[in-house]
Structure 1
């Protein structure tokens, strides 16, 4: 059973509340709407001409000069470089790069699990297949 394709109305015709070719269906054409002047725009892009002169510098309080005593910016965790220097952890098995991305892959046995009641993985998991 063949169906006759529905005919499409030509541009500017159809069920839209707007008529003519200067429209986009259910909303009027953005380019045909009126735009208002915005005098603040030019002031924003020319601060050397319109901005007030700089005021006096602020006073730095003694609390600010003292500091907090915290060791900010220092990492407390081990870096990846440090972990690599230590070598392969016990219970971890490297299976080499996998797939098109060549990402490293591997498995672990029960000695590498830190959870409660670690159990040996299934044979399927050990082979990485």
Structure 2
């Protein structure tokens, strides 16, 4: 019975000492310092367009409840802006390419530079 009481008291002393050390009652300047939140190290490049390898290499640091929303939002906003810019550029190029195609193919020229005109053949659709 005496041994049991000794173990209970010893356990209470150890738990109390650990609690005081963590809360700030021990030596030092108070409670444990706040850990700085981990930041996104390899963000998307600012000096060039984003490439597939940049997106493949993108890793978000973990926070207490998942990923840091600010880092994810910044990356998604950047990707959305670049995709919108590329879509607009593709639309402009398709419009520019459709202009010459809409005019139709030019009539073929012979070796003297004369434009040859084909006469319709009866019975064939034009």
User: What TM-score, normalized to structure 1?
Assistant: 0.21
Higher strand share: 1
Higher relative contact order (CA 8 A, sep 6+): 2
Q: Tell which structure's C-alpha radius of gyration is larger.
A: 2
Higher helix share: 2
